[in-house]
Amino acid sequence: TGSDGPPDGDLREEHALLAEEIRKHRIAYYQEAAPTVSDAEFDALFRRLEELEALHPELVSNDSPTQEVGGEVSSAFTPVDHLARMYSLEDVFSLEELKVWLDRATAGVEQRSPGAGIQWLTELKIDGLAVNLLYRDGELVRAATRGDGVTGEDITHNVLTIASIPKRLAGTDHPEVVEIRGEVFFPTKEFGQLNERMVAAGKAPFANPRNAAAGSLRQKDPAMTAERPLDMYVHGIGARTGLSAETQSGTYELLKAWGLPTSPYYRVLQDQAEVVAFIEHYGDHRHDLLHEIDGIVVKVDSFALQRALGHTSRVPRWSVAYKYPPEEVNTKLLDILVNV
């Protein structure tokens, strides 16, 4: 970073236009589940906005898309506030950028807790929809979309139709109040069949399983959601009234014991070379999975170190998403469209 001097009028205008375009795409993606550009195109616009702001920090305002979690809340749903804020993730698009990020996090930890050392929790970046589950006395009392991180959309009735999400937590050692975060996804295997049915019924097919998950979950009628084979994996925890685990991985073990669906694919790794090997392995096997992934998430496993690194207004500083290069257009979908 570093300033090239005050931004000229052209740069200010480019910044304003880009921010406006990104806001428009976020509304299409989050509120309408009908994006008009690919994720890679969206990511390139977002990246350009970040570059402009890195060169000219004067351009950063509180309402810049870089400073906000971008899940616009639709008026079709009742808004609900999360007890603890939900965040997005910082993206990196190459192993070089990942190394810079890992080195920076390591230096940040070393500065705050000398000699602590870091264990990296690596897991799949599920291409679905973030959902916050609120359990009181072990009972599922509310479910909401992430929304802007502070306020989400109440989708409790729809989430209650998802078989793998327990209505009641198993055991008795859970906190009185606990928020559990995860990703609801549309299994890849069933996606083609859903689109065939949509087209046969004269409706527009979904562009990808992520949009099918969002469209299925954000229905006004829970009976419609119940017909879709939605599933979920949990990947985080929000507010809680006490928890025996001190690590992200230890928390997953607890969540699993409470009957929540945890991913079988996470690992706790000791060094950067192992993290890179994990990324390369799933780069080769991303189509052998139950759900689509768009990358790998790397997290500092220790809660004490997560707290030491903290958050920005948009993302945690203890986690990063490595995004795989974009793939060819879904050929199955193209076939369907061509045959309409």
Report, as residue numbers or ranges, the catalytic residues: 125
Tell me what percent of the chain is helix, strand and coil, each rounded to the nearest 5.
Answer: 40, 20, 40
Closest by Cα among 203, 197, 269 to 227? 197
Nearer to ligand NAD by C-beta: 42 or 206?
A: 42
Among 130, 140, 214, 305, binds ligand NAD (CB under 6 A): 130
- Phi and psi torsions of 100, nearest 5°: -60, -45
Nearer to ligand NAD by C-beta: 7 or 237?
A: 237
Q: Is 231 in the site for ligand NAD (CB under 6 A)?
A: no
Structure tokens at 182: 């995860």
- Phi and psi torsions of 213, nearest 5°: -65, -45
Report 238-267 residues binding ligand NAD (CB under 6 A): none
- Beta strand extents in 117-264 (DSSP E only): 120-126, 129-136, 139-145, 151-153, 177-185, 231-240
Report 142-171 residues binding ligand NAD (CB under 6 A): 146
Cα(227)–Cα(214) distance, integer angstroms = 14
Report 274-333 residues binding ligand NAD (CB under 6 A): 297, 321
Q: Is 82 in the site for ligand NAD (CB under 6 A)?
A: no
Report the Cα–Cα distance between both ends of the chain, in Å, rounded.
50
Among 15, 125, 174, 228, binds ligand NAD (CB under 6 A): 125
For 75, 77, 225, the CA distances from 220, given in Å and listed in that order, are 12, 8, 9
Q: Tokens 């000791």 correspond to what residue? A: 270
Q: Is 91 in the site for ligand NAD (CB under 6 A)?
A: yes
Tell whether 46 is in a known binding site.
no
Tell whether 137 is in a known binding site.
no
Q: How far is the CB of 193 from ligand NAD (least distance, A)?
A: 24
Nearer to ligand NAD by C-beta: 49 or 138?
A: 49
Q: How far is the CB of 72 from ligand NAD (least distance, A)?
A: 9
Tell whether 323 is in a known binding site.
yes
Q: Which helix (H) or strand (E) holds 293?
A: strand 293-300
Neighbour count for residue 325 (Cβ, 10 Å): 9
Strands 319-323 vs 90-92: parallel, antiparallel or unpaired: parallel
Q: How far is the CB of 265 from ligand NAD (least distance, A)?
A: 9
Nearer to ligand NAD by C-beta: 91 or 231?
A: 91
Number of residues that bind ligand NAD (CB under 6 A): 24
- Phi and psi torsions of 233, nearest 5°: -125, 135
Please give the torsion angle defined by the CA atoms of residues 231, 219, 76 and 26, in that order, rounded to the nearest 10 degrees.
50
Pattern 31-70, binding to ligand NAD, x per CB under 6 A? ----x-xxx--xx--------------------------x
Tell whether 299 is in a known binding site.
yes
Q: Tokens 């795989």 correspond to what residue? A: 324
Residues that bind ligand NAD (CB under 6 A): 25-26, 28-29, 35, 37-39, 42-43, 70, 88-89, 91, 123, 125-126, 130, 146, 183, 235-236, 297, 321
**Where is the binding site for NAD(+), in residues?**
39-43, 88-89, 123, 146, 183, 299, 323
